[in-house]
Chains A and B, each alone.
Chain A
Amino acid sequence: MKQSLILGGRAIREALRTPDSLVPTIFIPLFFLVVNVGQTARIFPTANTEFLAGQNYAAFQLPSSLLLSASFGSAALYLVEEIEGGYFDKLRATPISRMAIIGGRLYAEMIKTIVITAVMVLIALPFGIRIESGILGFLVLLVLVALWAVVFSGFMQLIALKTRSAAATQGASMVFFPLLFLTPNFVPRSLLTRPMEIAATFNPVTYIMEAARSLILDGFDWSVLGTGFLVVAIAGAVMLALSVRMINHYD
C-alpha cells in the first residue's frame, strides 16, 4: 500500500507537469454536454418532461459527461510509454510488490478524477444544475465516478501490459464509445427502442450512469445507487484479479 502511494505521488506529479494532457479530459466532455443539451433541450422541456424531476436537460446529461471524462484511461498510455522506454523494468527490478506499480497509477487516476469531476460539477452549477442529494450526494458522486475511472484505467492498463504497444492501447481505449453510448444517455432506459434497451441492459456502464443520475435528479435512491456501486465493485474485482495475474506473469 505504501509503495502504491509513493508511486501514486509520482504519477500525480507527472499529471501536474503535463497539464496539456488534462485539457481534453475536461474540454471534450463539456463540449459534448453543451452540444447535446443545445441540440435536444427543446425536445425535453423541464415543465412537462417527467424524467427530469424538475431540473433542466443538462442535469440529465451531466453524468454522461462525467463518465466520459473518467474514461480517457491516460494512466495506461503513461504505463505503455514506460514499458517502451524501459522505466517499467527499472521499477520491476526494485523489491516492491509488482501490483504496486499498477496500483500507484490507479491511485493517481482516482485522485485526478475526483478533482476533475468536482471541477466539472462546479462549472455546471451556474447553468441551473443542482445536486438533489446535497453535499453528501455530491461526495458520493465523486467516489462513484472516480471508482469507474479506476476500473476503466485498470482494464486499459491490462491491454498496455498485454500488447506493450502505445498504438494498440490507444486503439483499445476507443471501447469507451460503445460503453458510453450504448447506455440511456439521452433518455431513460424505459424510453429506448427495444434493441437499444437490450444493449443498455447488458452494458455495466448503464447502472453506473443511472446511479450518478439518481444522485443529481432524485436524491438518495438506495436501490439504484446500490446497483451502481455493486456493478463497479464487480468490474473492479475482475480487473484487479486479471491485473494481479498479468503483472505477476509479465516476462
Chain B
Amino acid sequence: MSLAIEAIDVRKRYTGKDGDVEAVRGVSLAVPPGQVFGFLGPNGAGKSTTVRMLTTLMTLTSGTARVAGIDVTVDPHGARRKIGVALQEAGLDPRQTGRELLVLQARLFGLSRAAAAARAAELIELVELTDAADRRIKGYSGGMKRRLDLASALVNQPEVLFLDEPTTGLDPASRLTVWDEVRRINEQGTTVFLTTQYLEEADQLCDRMAIIDGGVIVRDGSPAELKAELQARTGSASEPTLDDVFMDATGRNRDRVAGDVQEV
C-alpha cells in the first residue's frame, strides 16, 4: 500500500536579507493513508515551509516528496487534484459570498456549473454555514471563515487534506467545532496532515505526530509513544504530558521562550 505522504530528505534553502537560509534541512516523513498526522514545532521551525513544499506552493531545493503517490515536483498538477489545502491565514476572497467562493473553487477543479453548485450546497451544509452562505465573506466571524476555508479545501474530495494551524486565533467553541470537522473528514477516509502549535490539539486529534525544530525532525511517533519514551528516558514517576515532550524535544523552556520574544 502506498503512503499518503512520503518525504525523503526534503530541503529548502533560499536567499533572504541576511544571506542564505536553510529553512528545512532534510525532513523525511512517511504517513500511511487514513491517519491524522500532527506536525508540531515552535515558530520559525520550518512547519509552514514543509507544508508549502508538500502542497506544491513552493519548490523543493532537494529531496523527494510524494503526496497520494504523486511526486509533487514531477507532476504538481496531478498532486493538486488529490489534495486539499487550508493554509495558516484563511485565504478567502472577502468580496464573494461563501457559496460563490465554493462554486468557483469547484469549477477550478473541473466540475460543471451544475455539479459545482451541488457540491457547494453539500459543503455549506457540512460546515453548517447555510444561513450565511449567500452573505459576503467580509462579514464572517473568524470561526466562520475557518469553516468556509475548510469546506473550500474539500471541494475535490481530497485524498490528503493539509491544515496549517487551522485553529489559531479561534475561540474555544470554534476550535471544538473545527476539531469535530477534522474527525468527521478523517472518518470518511481522508488523510489529514495538521500543523499546530497547540499540544492539546495534537493530543486530541493525531494518531501520529512529528516535531520539527530548526528545520529537522527531532521526534516522531504516536503521542503515547512519545510520552512513554520520555518517561523511560527521564525515569519520571508521573506520565509526562505532550508539553513535556515538546519542551524536551525543542529545548524550549520558559526562559528560552522569553528570550526568543525579546529577540523579536
Q: Nearest residue in B to A86 (C-beta to C-beta)? A: B91
B residues 1-32 with Cβ under 8 Å of A?
Answer: 14
A residues 1-53 with Cβ under 8 Å of B?
Answer: 3, 6-7, 10, 13-14, 17-18
CB contacts between A and B, total, < 8 Å: 68
Question: Is the beta-carbon distance between A90 and B85 smaller than 8 angstroms?
Answer: yes
Question: Is the beta-carbon distance between A95 and B81 smaller than 8 angstroms?
Answer: yes
* B74 interfacial by beta-carbon distance below 8 Å: no
* B80 interfacial by beta-carbon distance below 8 Å: yes
* B89 interfacial by beta-carbon distance below 8 Å: yes
What is the predominant secondary structure among interface residues of chain A facing chain B?
Answer: helix
* A87 interfacial by beta-carbon distance below 8 Å: yes
Question: Is the beta-carbon distance between A85 and B55 smaller than 8 angstroms?
Answer: no
* B135 interfacial by beta-carbon distance below 8 Å: no
Question: Is the beta-carbon distance between B59 and A14 smaller than 8 angstroms?
Answer: no
Question: Is the beta-carbon distance between A92 and B108 smaller than 8 angstroms?
Answer: no
How many of chain A's residues touch chain B, expressed as a range? 20 to 34
Chain B interface residues (CB < 8 Å from chain A): 14, 55-59, 77-78, 80-81, 83, 85, 87-96, 100, 104-105, 107-110, 136, 152
Chain A interface residues (CB < 8 Å from chain B): 3, 6-7, 10, 13-14, 17-18, 82, 85-96, 251
Question: Is the beta-carbon distance between B77 and A87 smaller than 8 angstroms?
Answer: no
Residue in A3, A10, A89, A90 with the greatest tally of chain B CB atoms within 10 Å: A90
Question: Is the beta-carbon distance between B108 and A88 smaller than 8 angstroms?
Answer: no
Question: Is the beta-carbon distance between A92 and B57 smaller than 8 angstroms?
Answer: yes
Task: Give the distance to chain B from A114, nearest Cβ to Cβ, in Å.
Answer: 22
CB neighbours (8 Å) of A18 from chain B are: 95
Residue among B59, B87, B94, B109 making CB contact with A90, cutoff 8 Å: B87
Question: Is the beta-carbon distance between B83 and A93 smaller than 8 angstroms?
Answer: yes
Residue among B58, B91, B96 making CB contact with A10, cutoff 8 Å: B96
Residue among A93, A95, A251 making CB contact with B59, cutoff 8 Å: A251
CB neighbours (8 Å) of A3 from chain B are: 108
Q: Nearest residue in B to A93 (C-beta to C-beta)? A: B85
Q: Nearest residue in B to A2 (C-beta to C-beta)? A: B107
CB neighbours (8 Å) of A13 from chain B are: 95-96, 100
User: In the docked arrangement, what's the CA distance between A90 and B109, Å?
Assistant: 12
Question: Is the beta-carbon distance between B93 and A10 smaller than 8 angstroms?
Answer: yes
Instruction: Report if A90-B95 is in contact (Cβ < 8 Å); known contacts: A10-B104, A95-B81, A251-B59.
Output: no
Question: Is the beta-carbon distance between A86 and B108 smaller than 8 angstroms?
Answer: no
CB neighbours (8 Å) of B107 from chain A are: 6
